[in-house]
Chain A
Amino acid sequence: MPVMTFTDIPVSEVDLSDTGFRITGPHHDSEHLKSSISQYGIMVPPLVLRGQDKYIVVSGFRRIEGARHAGLSRITCRVMPAGETLDAAMAAVTENSFSRELTPAELIRATVLLLRFMDAQSIAENATSIFNMPLNSGYINTLARIHALPDPVLDLLDQGQISIKACKHLVSMNAETRAGFLHLFSQIKASSGIQMEIIAWAKEICALEKISVSKLIQESPLGITNGDGTGQGGSRLGHRDMGALGKQFKAFLAQRRFPALTAAKKQAREQIKALELDSGLQLAVPENFEGIIYAMQMEFKNMDEFKTRLNRLAELADLNDFKSLVDR
């Protein structure tokens, strides 16, 4: 149990530049917290460790930033004695993980912080008391490997642009491929499942075509952006809808990875559209064109509608578009 004292200290004596114990990301939005501190002051005292001539923040970076912002000159902190670094690390993690669920980037920072003082096995054995959830040593080592990936990875994790699952795949890639994917995920936004699909398809296309991920991205709709991060019209990429870019990129990959299937699906969609079916009639082609059963679903509210739609169905049999769709 770490010994700590409640002490009123000058804000200027807190070293905010030492982020050794920091778990929250720099992008965390703290506007509301700042205005709360301006109005009501700090409710829960931050935790600091006595350093050589300054105090090192263990937990409460944003509160202290908020205090500075509000122009407070002194704040009450919980102060740990100098040298208690293991206890400080443990406190930094537990304070955060028992007050809310850690984000993926926080989980990684917290794990790497603890790995400075203990091995993966010891962390795993105590994970429920430290992280408020079980973690196995293999996973802990994976998190450490993700942390060792080049810089943008934690930023992307902080901003929800890449998932831990996707990062796990990047870990085993060569540096060039990894850099290609990190660049890609800095430009698009997609769910974790779609990120995995994108990684798998892109990797497979590159293996088949013997090209690099960067080359593939260059050839994609994302490649039309200029080297300085602006689009063809000179507008910053950030102004474009990253979600829409993600969808566009996925569609590009699908078309390149499954050209015949994509073309067949597109053709079937066009053929079905050309049939101009009433809203109460729905035609389904065999999934992926593997089976041979087509399905037509008819909805109706009354006899008149039933008869009208039945007549429409009868007419379909003579339509060439319908024949070429079914007799493929």
Chain B
Amino acid sequence: MINPIRVFMDKDLDQTPEIEYLISKLKPTPEKVADPRPVYDLINQSDDPVGFAKKVLYITRNKGALIRQCPGTSYYTCCDYTILHCGTYCTMDCSYCILQAYFHPPVLQYFAGFDQYTAALDPVFQGDHIVRIGTGEYTDSLIWEPVSLMPGFLVEKFATQDRAILELKTKTVNIDSLLDLDHNRKTILSWSLNTPEMIASQERGTASLSARLKAAAKAVSKGFRVAFHFDPIFLYPGCEGAYEKVVEAIFAHVSPEDVVWISIGTFRFMPHLKSIIEARFPDSTIPYGEFITGLDNKMRYFKPLRIAMYQRLGALFRQLAPGVAVYFCMEDEEVWMKTFGFFPGKPKALAHMLDRAAADRCGLDSRLV
């Protein structure tokens, strides 16, 4: 949860209702700064900048591009996702989190400015193709919900059009302020899932599996569409049965018709994340799987092991939810073929598959698919 020990704020930020609300929800009074240097300096002084940065909030405006394309790689098939860059970093602490190694230093930033978001999103809403937009790439989408009006603002903004869907991806259960909004099915609330053992040992400060699934059921009861992400999947003794139980638990809470998509992807990481995990999570053995260097230079489980796991889950999805779009984030032709028997190999084929799922489940303009 957002519970900073220091809060910094750009000195020239306007006192909008968004900012006033945010400040009213935070304990320490924001310290006004002219630029981010004092924040960086404070974080860099710490022995554990990665851990300390989770307790220092910096309220600012996004000075770069608010809308970005997800960085895929050429070899592994990417889903052409769009990122709405509304914040960085996270207050939870997952051993495998790439954000530990991504920012130098990591900074918990909140990018304020509804006017800026409106200006960036309006052209997207008038575009000639479907866009799937998420805020959960550089932060958890809903850690902000208890202190910020932003998630609600976005839900209502997306509700006014039928060309784009918003995906709020989280490991929290912070959805209460969103439930009664007029969302018009244009917001997908999505949860990253893992097995209870992995949540307990690798995801500090996140909600339990059952709490996440209960939240998903609550969202569905309010007409929201939901999605799930099995990413990262860890391979460990007994993992197949453990992940199958999670899949079964999903459909004990929600019906397949309410699920827009499910992604699956085994753990992969930039090599330098290993030493960070070893230093910050000395009891974790997740970097010690049977990894090889992938064609994108990330460490990946040896391919036959990945495929065997995917085949087990694929079979279960076919049985329990044949109509749900299940896809891989960053896998290649061999993995697709051996798991699902098809490969969305043509340019944008995977994007098309997901656009179709979004159009069907969320009521987007299907002529644009």
Interface residues of A (CB under 8 A from B): 204, 207-208, 257-261, 264, 288-292, 328
> Complex Cα distance A291/B334, Å?
9
> Complex Cα distance A264/B294, Å?
17
> Complex Cα distance A292/B333, Å?
9
- A258 pairs with B290, CB closer than 8 A: yes
> Complex Cα distance A260/B294, Å?
16
CB-defined contacts of B294 to chain A, threshold 8 Å? 290
CB-defined contacts of A259 to chain B, threshold 8 Å? 290
User: Can you list 28 A-B pairs, Cβ within 8 angstroms, ordered by A?
Assistant: A204-B287, A204-B288, A207-B285, A207-B288, A208-B285, A258-B290, A258-B302, A259-B290, A260-B290, A261-B290, A261-B292, A261-B302, A264-B302, A264-B304, A288-B292, A288-B302, A288-B303, A289-B292, A289-B302, A289-B303, A289-B304, A290-B292, A290-B294, A290-B295, A291-B332, A292-B333, A292-B334, A328-B304
B290 to chain A, nearest CB (A): 5
- B288 pairs with A260, CB closer than 8 A: no
Taking A289-B304, A290-B293 as known contacts, 17 extra A-B pairs with beta carbons closer than 8 A to each other, sorted by chain A number, are A204-B287, A207-B285, A208-B288, A257-B288, A258-B290, A258-B302, A259-B290, A260-B290, A288-B293, A288-B303, A289-B292, A289-B303, A290-B294, A290-B303, A291-B75, A291-B295, A292-B334
> Complex Cα distance A112/B75, Å?
52
Q: Which residue of B lies closest to A261 (CB)?
A: B302
CB-defined contacts of A261 to chain B, threshold 8 Å? 290, 292, 302
Flag whether B42 is at the interface (Cβ < 8 A). no
- B304 pairs with A260, CB closer than 8 A: yes
Q: Which residue of A lies closest to B306 (CB)?
A: A290
- A292 pairs with B302, CB closer than 8 A: no
How many residues on B have C-beta within 8 angstroms of the other chain's C-beta atoms?
Answer: 17
From A207, A260, A292, B332 is in contact (CB under 8 Å) with A292
A19 to chain B, nearest CB (A): 38
Interface string of B284-325 (1 = CB under 8 A from A): 010110101111000010111100000000000000000000
> Complex Cα distance A289/B332, Å?
12
Smallest CB-CB A-B distances: 3 pairs? A288-B292, A204-B288, A261-B302
CB-defined contacts of B287 to chain A, threshold 8 Å? 204
CB-defined contacts of B75 to chain A, threshold 8 Å? 291
> Complex Cα distance A266/B303, Å?
16
Q: Taking each of B300, B303, B332, which has the highest tally of chain A beta carbons within 10 Å of its own beta carbon?
A: B303
Q: Which residue of A lies closest to B296 (CB)?
A: A290
From A260, A290, A328, B300 is in contact (CB under 8 Å) with A290
From B285, B295, B305, B333, A260 is in contact (CB under 8 Å) with B305
> Complex Cα distance A260/B305, Å?
8
> Complex Cα distance A290/B292, Å?
8
Chief secondary structure at chain A's binding surface: helix
Q: Which residue of A lies closest to B308 (CB)?
A: A260
CB-defined contacts of B332 to chain A, threshold 8 Å? 291-292
A194 to chain B, nearest CB (A): 18
> Complex Cα distance A261/B305, Å?
9
CB-defined contacts of A257 to chain B, threshold 8 Å? 288, 290
Interface string of B119-151 (1 = CB under 8 A from A): 000000000000000000000000000000000
> Complex Cα distance A257/B291, Å?
10
> Complex Cα distance A257/B287, Å?
12
> Complex Cα distance A257/B75, Å?
27
> Complex Cα distance A258/B302, Å?
9
CB-defined contacts of B302 to chain A, threshold 8 Å? 258, 260-261, 264, 288-289
**B residues 203-247 touching A (CB-CB < 8 Å):** none
> Complex Cα distance A261/B302, Å?
7
> Complex Cα distance A289/B305, Å?
11
**B residues 272-294 touching A (CB-CB < 8 Å):** 285, 287-288, 290, 292-294
CB-defined contacts of A207 to chain B, threshold 8 Å? 285, 288
Q: Taking each of A259, A264, A288, A328, which has the highest tally of chain B beta carbons within 10 Å of its own beta carbon?
A: A288
> Complex Cα distance A291/B294, Å?
8
> Complex Cα distance A224/B118, Å?
72
B269 to chain A, nearest CB (A): 15
CB-defined contacts of B288 to chain A, threshold 8 Å? 204, 207-208, 257
Q: Which residue of A lies closest to B337 (CB)?
A: A292
**B residues 158-203 touching A (CB-CB < 8 Å):** none
> Complex Cα distance A204/B332, Å?
28
B310 to chain A, nearest CB (A): 15
Q: Which residue of A lies closest to B237 (CB)?
A: A208
> Complex Cα distance A290/B301, Å?
10
> Complex Cα distance A328/B304, Å?
9
Q: Which residue of A lies closest to B289 (CB)?
A: A208
> Complex Cα distance A291/B300, Å?
12
CB-defined contacts of B334 to chain A, threshold 8 Å? 292
Q: Which residue of A lies closest to B75 (CB)?
A: A291
> Complex Cα distance A257/B302, Å?
12
CB-defined contacts of A292 to chain B, threshold 8 Å? 332-334
Q: Taking each of A207, A290, A291, A292, which has the highest tally of chain B beta carbons within 10 Å of its own beta carbon?
A: A290
Q: Which residue of B lies closest to A291 (CB)?
A: B295
Q: Which residue of B lies closest to A205 (CB)?
A: B288
A156 to chain B, nearest CB (A): 25
Q: Which residue of B lies closest to A288 (CB)?
A: B292
A288 to chain B, nearest CB (A): 4
A14 to chain B, nearest CB (A): 50
Q: Which residue of A lies closest to B287 (CB)?
A: A204
> Complex Cα distance A291/B74, Å?
13
B264 to chain A, nearest CB (A): 18
A212 to chain B, nearest CB (A): 16
> Complex Cα distance A289/B301, Å?
11
A266 to chain B, nearest CB (A): 14
> Complex Cα distance A208/B290, Å?
11
B132 to chain A, nearest CB (A): 28
Q: Taking each of B295, B300, B305, which has the highest tally of chain A beta carbons within 10 Å of its own beta carbon?
A: B295
> Complex Cα distance A233/B294, Å?
45
Q: Which residue of A lies closest to B283 (CB)?
A: A207
CB-defined contacts of B290 to chain A, threshold 8 Å? 257-261
Interface string of B334-365 (1 = CB under 8 A from A): 10000000000000000000000000000000
A260 to chain B, nearest CB (A): 5
A198 to chain B, nearest CB (A): 15
B24 to chain A, nearest CB (A): 46
CB-defined contacts of B304 to chain A, threshold 8 Å? 260, 264, 289, 328
Q: Taking each of A257, A258, A259, which has the highest tally of chain B beta carbons within 10 Å of its own beta carbon?
A: A258
